């Protein structure tokens, strides 16, 4: 039986039981030491987390927690701040760049930054045990190994990730590479990135964070850190639209009324070929990269990307983004047959092909949401959570509950090899992924290589309230 939250549509006033979160962090602040000199890195960014008042499109001011960026070394494109938005600056780099980020915590509590989707070492991954207190800094040094794609960054202190992200802490991390550049996809005005989030505000203007077993929802749509307002003006022609679902818990059922999505990429960059897609479930932390052709619409015409009810007939559809065609200049773009050389991992590469590791997404009394009944503990892992460096494994997530769980694994990107669906179909399974949506009743197998860094990493549900509760575990690559 599917038993969804009634709050799968925007609704004010629905409240779950409040959950008290405590920071369980026994580690002292640790600083990475790196032998690199400033001259040996390509990009240096100072990223400061602090509280700041902003309107962000509202008629009142709200105290957000924001990332403020300062470019110490690099070019203008490496760090682009978004005016009036509470989101952190967009970091844009090329594959192969050596990046240094000096994170400063000016918040009233511990925090640490995680580079979601990037393949970096344990020390650079923002593992919760590295959370630093107010006044401290943490230095990240990493080489960007990932393919071109839309990645992002957000806090990761245990028990507080949901709260801190809700307060505003998040930003995009865009990677470009030669392979993508050769395609000459639409750029400039015709390449648009959208971070979609939901927030609720109190009458006083403060953010209204209400965590529950279902997660924390909001009744106001925020697009790129600003309250959704007028339609976005577009020209006739081809656009590249990229989306991040930056919500704590809300899943969208994306549909393009009057238009069509041609998916070209997912979490970990470009697909081999473009795929037409009418609707899809879009879960927290997932990314969707597509081409949309506005050439055949009339000037003045409006189009809308909507979220349909998650379950047909339950709830209402609502509009996420509206577009208005404003002028006739069109760009010509030849759709390439092959977008990328994306490699498909063969199932037979897995050492445990006939014996996938099984993880059950279940609640446990006294803990809330868990993975196989186990809660997160610093530096604890069981046998199944130990992986040999250099191996390829299949992990299976089974969801016997009525709640969807978007499962995220740190480290390398993975691929989905098999999905036995419950009743709800239409998850994003193509390409390289770092989040896989496991709908009620679903059994999903993913294949992943553990061949880049040794050390302790985490995997968790990206419903951030589930993660904070205890739906997170370590895995160790040895
Ligand atoms: Cu975006 Cu461990 O998370
Ligand atoms: Cu991540
Ligand atoms: Cu979950």
DSSP secondary structure letters along 338-362: -----PPPPGGG-TTTTS-EEEEEE
Sequence-distant (6+) residues with CB within 8 A of 149 are 117, 174, 175, 265, 267, 268, 269, 270, 287, 289, 432
Task: Tell how far the Cα of 433 is from the centroid of ligand 2, in angstroms.
Answer: 11
User: 287: which strand partners?
Assistant: 244
How far is it, in rounded angstroms, from Cα 390 to Cα 225? 40
Residues of the chain short of pLDDT 50, as ranges, are 1-33
In which region does residue 86 sit, left (phi positive, over 0), alpha (psi from -120 to 50) or beta (all else)? alpha
**Residue recorded with tokens 């897995």:** 350
Max intra-chain CA distance, the chain: 61
Which ligand sits closest to the CA of 128?
1
Running DSSP on this structure, what letter comes out for residue 114? E
Measured by CA distance, the residue closest to atom 3 of ligand 1 is 116
How far is it, in rounded angstroms, from Cα 451 to Cα 345? 13
Domain ranges of the chain: 25-176, 184-327, 347-477
Residue 364, number of CB atoms within 10 A of its CB: 15
Residue 14 to residues 11, 212, 472: CA-CA distances in angstroms? 7, 11, 26
pLDDT at 194: 98
- DSSP string for 245-290: E--SSPPEEEEEETS-EEEEEETTEEEEEEEEESEEEE-TT-EEEE
- Cβ atoms of 246 and 239 within 8 Å: the answer is no
pLDDT at 15: 25
Q: Which two tokens stand for residue 163?
A: 């709260």
112 lines ligand 1 (CB under 6 A): no
Residue 348 backbone dihedrals phi, psi, to 5 degrees:
-70, -10
Which ligand sits closest to the CA of 466?
3
Task: Tell how far the Cα of 261 is from the centroid of ligand 1, in angstroms.
Answer: 26
Neighbours of ion ligand 3 (CB under 5 A): 405, 461, 463, 466
Q: Which CATH superfamily is domain 25-176 in?
A: Cupredoxins -  blue copper proteins (2.60.40.420)
Q: What's the topology of domain 347-477? A: Immunoglobulin-like (2.60.40)
Task: Tell how far the Cα of 156 is from the centroid of ligand 1, in angstroms.
Answer: 7
410 lines ligand 1 (CB under 6 A): yes
Task: Tell how far the Cα of 114 is from the centroid of ligand 2, in angstroms.
Answer: 6
pLDDT at 351: 97
The predicted model scores a pTM of 0.92
Task: Tell how far the Cα of 203 is from the centroid of ligand 2, in angstroms.
Answer: 33
**Residue recorded with tokens 């669906």:** 421
How far is it, in rounded angstroms, from Cα 160 to Cα 111? 8
Q: In CATH, which of 3.30.950.10, 3.40.50.1100, 2.60.40.420, 3.40.630.30 is domain 184-327?
A: 2.60.40.420
Task: Tell how far the Cα of 410 is from the centroid of ligand 2, in angstroms.
Answer: 5
For residues 9-46, one letter each, b for 16 or more C-beta atoms within 10 angstroms of the residue's C-beta and e for the rest, the string is bbeeebebeebebeeebeeebeeeeeeeeeeebbbbbb
Q: What stretch of H or E contains 467?
A: helix 464-469
127 lines ligand 1 (CB under 6 A): no
User: 296: which strand partners?
Assistant: none
- Cβ atoms of 122 and 30 within 8 Å: the answer is no
461 lines ligand 1 (CB under 6 A): no
Sequence-distant (6+) residues with CB within 8 A of 188 are none
Ligand 1 atom with the shortest distance to the CA of 458? 2
Ligand 1 atom with the shortest distance to the CA of 156? 2
pLDDT at 4: 33
Residue 264 backbone dihedrals phi, psi, to 5 degrees:
-120, -15
Which ligand sits closest to the CA of 404?
3
pLDDT at 307: 97
Q: What stretch of H or E contains 433?
A: none
How many Cα neighbours within 13 Å face the side chain of 475? Answer: 23
Residues, the chain: 478
Sequence-distant (6+) residues with CB within 8 A of 221 are 10, 196, 197, 198, 227, 228, 318, 320
Same fold, 25-176 and 347-477: yes
156 lines ligand 1 (CB under 6 A): yes
How far is it, in rounded angstroms, from Cα 155 to Cα 103? 11
374 lines ligand 1 (CB under 6 A): no
Task: Tell how far the Cα of 184 is from the centroid of ligand 3, in angstroms.
Answer: 38
Q: Which of 402, 419, 221, 249 is nearest to 311 (CA)?
A: 402
- DSSP string for 222-238: EETTEE--SPEEEESSE
β-strand pairing of 149-155 with 171-176: antiparallel
């Amino acid at each position: 039986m599917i038993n969804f939250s009634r709050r799968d549509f925007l609704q004010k006033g629905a409240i779950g039981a409040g959950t008290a979160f405590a920071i369980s962090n026994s580690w002292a602040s640790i600083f990475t030491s790196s032998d690199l000199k400033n001259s040996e890195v390509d990009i240096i960014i100072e990223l400061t987390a602090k509280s700041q008042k902003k309107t962000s499109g509202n008629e009142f001011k709200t105290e957000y927690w924001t990332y403020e960026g300062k470019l110490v070394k690099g070019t203008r494109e490496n760090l682009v701040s978004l005016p009036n938005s509470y989101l952190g600056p967009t970091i844009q780099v090329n594959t192969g760049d050596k990046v240094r980020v000096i994170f400063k915590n000016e918040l009233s509590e511990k925090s640490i930054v995680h580079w979601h989707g990037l393949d970096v070492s344990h020390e650079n991954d923002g593992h919760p045990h590295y959370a630093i207190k107010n006044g401290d800094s943490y230095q990240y040094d990493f080489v960007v190994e990932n393919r071109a794609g839309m990645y992002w960054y957000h806090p990761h202190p245990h028990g507080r990730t949901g709260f801190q992200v809700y307060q505003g802490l998040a930003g995009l991390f865009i990677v470009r590479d030669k392979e993508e550049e050769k395609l000459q996809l639409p750029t400039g005005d015709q390449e648009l990135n959208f971070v979609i989030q939901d927030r609720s505000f109190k009458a006083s203007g403060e953010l209204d964070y209400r965590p529950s077993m279902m997660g924390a929802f909001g009744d106001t749509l925020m697009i790129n850190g600003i309250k959704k307002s007028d339609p976005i003006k577009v020209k006739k022609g081809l656009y590249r639209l990229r989306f991040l679902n930056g919500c704590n818990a809300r899943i969208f059922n994306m549909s393009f009324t009057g238009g069509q999505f041609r998916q070209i990429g997912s979490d970990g960059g470009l697909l081999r070929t473009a795929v037409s897609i009418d609707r899809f479930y879009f879960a927290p932390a997932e990314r969707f990269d597509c081409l949309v052709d506005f050439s055949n619409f009339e000037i003045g015409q409006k189009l809308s990307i909507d979220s349909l009810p998650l379950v047909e007939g339950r709830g209402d559809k609502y509009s996420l983004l509206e577009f208005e065609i404003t002028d006739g200049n069109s760009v010509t773009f030849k759709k390439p047959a092959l977008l990328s050389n994306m490699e498909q991992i063969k199932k037979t590469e897995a050492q445990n092909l006939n014996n996938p590791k099984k993880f059950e997404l279940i609640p446990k009394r006294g803990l809330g949401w868990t993975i196989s009944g186990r809660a997160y503990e610093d530096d604890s892992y069981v046998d199944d959570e130990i992986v040999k460096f250099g191996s390829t494994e299949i992990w299976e997530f089974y969801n016997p509950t009525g709640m969807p769980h978007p499962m995220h694994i740190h480290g390398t990107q993975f691929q989905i090899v098999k999905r036995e669906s419950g009743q709800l179909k239409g998850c994003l399974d193509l390409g390289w992924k770092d989040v896989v949506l496991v709908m009620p009743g679903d059994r999903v197998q993913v294949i992943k290589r553990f061949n880049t860094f040794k050390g302790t990493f985490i995997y968790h549900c990206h419903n951030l309230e589930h993660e904070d509760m205890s739906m997170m575990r370590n895995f160790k690559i040895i």
